[in-house]
Amino acid sequence: MEITGKIILALPEQSGVSKAGNSWKKKEYVLETQETYPKKVHFDLFGDKADKYPLSVGQTVRLSFDIESREYNGRWFTSIRGWQAEPVDAAAPTAAPFEPAATPGAVPPPPAMQPSDPNEDLPF
């Protein structure tokens, strides 16, 4: 899944050692979408992703993520785990709608039909 928005909060880094003796690290952020009704999304970058994608408050990013839920003591917890974060240039124009490229030797479509009576606006 993917979402684009602005980083509005960077929480302190967390780290520790697992039961198996492996060290781990996690960085958490809050992203705000740029829609008519903005939504705030809390997500984390875990392990090597925490260092690979250094994010800062005010930066606009496109976040690729997975949603996962787990049960603990009869309660369910859901987390959003980022696996890629690409900076988005806010000044870049938005993508134009898709238009197929012209094929060499293709015949262009005919012009729109014109009504024979100038007072009639129906094309048939």
Question: What is the DSSP track for 61-87?
Answer: EEEEEEEEEEEETTEEEEEEEEEEEEE
Q: What is the pLDDT of residue 85?
A: 94
Q: Please report the domains of the chain, with CATH numbers, ordered by start residue.
A: 2-87 (2.40.50.140)
Q: What is the pLDDT of residue 122?
A: 58
Q: How large is the average pLDDT for residues 19-32?
A: 94
Q: Hey, what amino acid is at 50?
A: A
Share the mean pLDDT of the chain.
84
23's CB contacts (< 8 A; 6+ apart) are 15, 16, 17
Name the 3-class secondary structure at 51. helix
Please, are residues 4 and 34 in contact by the beta-carbon 8 Å criterion?
A: yes
Task: Give dist(CA 123, CA 54) in Å, integer.
Answer: 58
Q: How large is the average pLDDT for residues 57-86?
A: 95
Q: What is the pLDDT of residue 89?
A: 79
Lowest pLDDT segment from 21-25, 53-57, 86-90: 86-90
